[in-house]
């Protein structure tokens, strides 16, 4: 039986494939010539790739099941340094004929071990309302099941099963390291903020067959949803006789609402407490470094010193590091400029649609 080709394997120009993928996105568009084409994304457990179907029809487009499975035949082309899959034939595949786990990316770490470490860290909190609020979430079996499974994002960082847990634990580890360096930080409050900052993503994102926004996720968003979850737990605690001061609740809510750090990134409030400020930078650090590592690892050409342009990094190329005898001085001084007008030393990039 032939070895399955995964998205991560389809990186060489001209390589042919005949495989089943999940159709994550599809869009019918018109070219300058007036002919219709379909642009979309195909997905398996190793990642996503752009899909192009030229000379399409509206009837054919409607027959393709977005969020469903398709058998595709085609070839790999490189566009702006990244592989895209040009589809020559495509038919729907019944869900009962596939193993769904083959099509959802998942963390490379043990989910049970990560959750156990997170619980150990939270157990270091002193007795009091902050720990009680944390425990109310930890004791919610249905919520924690969703927390273990959820991705941290749809595409940009930790976009895989277990990604939310991995991202949260990554921030907690760094938070523990910096707490001795900054005595003004309330350690328990910061750890609680780290734990809950993205808790709303358990309801914002769905991950049954694909990573997508729920209706509530689109309309409300995980910041507001997270605050709502905190308020629900506080009401339950107070009904049970546990005193959770308003000052604690407001600071936790503020950390959730402000952790994106800027209005244009979706935060309705800017960080105004030391813990909220620390959380914002720790969250950004973990998300950006993991996304950086993924961009470097997923770049299709091993010999390239630079990745293709990355949307999450202001559309800049990222330096992948010197390999073997290649030195930093052999690449352009700026990732956005050619070296002294001598031309780009990297392999030429094939033209594409845009």
Is residue 334 pLDDT above 60, yes or no? no
Please say whether the beta carbons of 301 and 348 come within 8 A.
no
Q: Read off the pLDDT band of 302 (50, 70, 90).
A: low
> Which of 150, 179, 180, 155 minimizes the C-alpha distance to 167?
150
Say whether pLDDT at 314 is over 80.
no
Sequence-distant (6+) residues with CB within 8 A of 181 are none
What's the pLDDT at 303? 65
Q: How far apart are CA 96 and CA 93, in angstroms?
A: 9
Which of 183-187, 196-200, 214-218, 318-322 is least confident? 318-322
Q: Which two tokens stand for residue 121?
A: 């860290």
Domains of the chain: 7-101 (2.40.50.140), 104-292 (1.10.3210), 305-330 (no CATH)
Q: Is 25 helix (H, G, I), strand (E, B) or coil?
A: strand
Please calculate the CA angle 247-253-254 and round it to the nearest 5 degrees.
85
Identify the pLDDT of residue 159: 83
* Chain segment 97-132, per-residue pLDDT in tens: 998 888 888 898 999 999 999 999 999 999 999 999
Measured CA to CA, the distance from residue 115 to residue 57 in angstroms comes to: 48
Q: Indicate if the pLDDT at residue 67 is higher than 90.
A: no
Handedness of CA 231, 235, 241, 246 (dihedral sign): positive
Bridge partners for 23 per DSSP: 42
Q: Please, what is the average pLDDT of the chain?
A: 86
* Cβ count near 259 (within 10 Å): 29
Report which of 277, 276, 257 is spatially closest to residue 267, judged by C-alpha positions.
257
- In this structure, the number of other CB atoms found within 10 A of the CB of residue 229 comes to 21
> Which of 2-16, 63-77, 184-198, 248-262 shows the lowest per-residue confidence on average (mean pLDDT)?
2-16
Q: How many other C-beta atoms lie within 10 A of the C-beta of residue 267? A: 18
Six-digit token pair at 17? 């494939």
Distance CA 125, CA 146 (A): 24
What is the pLDDT at residue 329? 30
């Amino acid at each position: 039986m032939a070895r399955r080709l995964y998205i991560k394997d389809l990186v060489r120009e001209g390589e042919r494939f005949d495989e089943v993928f999940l159709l994550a996105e599809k869009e019918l568009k018109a070219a300058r010539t007036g002919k219709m084409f379909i642009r979309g994304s195909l997905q398996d457990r190793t990642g996503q790739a752009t899909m192009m179907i030229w000379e399409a029809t509206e009837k054919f487009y409607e027959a393709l099941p977005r969020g469903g499975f398709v058998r595709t035949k085609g070839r790999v082309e490189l566009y702006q340094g990244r592989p895209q899959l040009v589809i020559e034939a495509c038919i729907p595949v019944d869900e009962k004929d596939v193993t769904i786990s083959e099509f959802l990316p998942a963390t490379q770490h043990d989910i049970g071990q990560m959750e156990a470490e997170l619980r150990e860290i939270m157990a270091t909190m002193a007795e009091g309302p902050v720990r009680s609020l944390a425990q109310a979430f930890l004791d919610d079996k249905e919520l924690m099941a969703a927390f273990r499974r959820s991705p941290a994002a749809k595409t940009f960082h930790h976009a895989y099963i277990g990604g939310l847990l991995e991202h949260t634990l990554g921030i907690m580890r760094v938070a523990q390291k910096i707490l001795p360096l900054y005595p003004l930080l309330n350690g328990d409050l910061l750890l609680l903020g780290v734990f809950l900052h993205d808790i709303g993503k358990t309801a914002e994102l769905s991950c049954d067959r694909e990573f997508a926004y729920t209706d509530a996720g689109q309309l409300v968003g995980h910041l507001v949803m997270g605050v709502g979850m905190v308020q629900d737990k506080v009401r339950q605690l107070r009904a049970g006789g546990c005193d959770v001061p308003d000052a604690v609740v407001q600071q936790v809510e503020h950390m959730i609402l402000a952790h994106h750090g800027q209005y244009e990134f979706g935060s309705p409030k800017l960080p105004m407490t030391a813990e909220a400020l620390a959380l914002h930078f720790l969250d950004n650090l973990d998300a950006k470094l993991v996304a950086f590592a993924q961009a470097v690892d997923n770049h299709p050409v091993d010999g390239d010193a630079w990745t293709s342009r990355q949307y999450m990094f202001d559309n800049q190329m990222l330096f992948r590091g010197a390999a073997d005898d290649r030195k930093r001085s052999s690449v352009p001084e700026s990732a956005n400029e050619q070296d002294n007008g001598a031309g780009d030393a990297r392999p030429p990039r094939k033209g594409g649609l845009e």
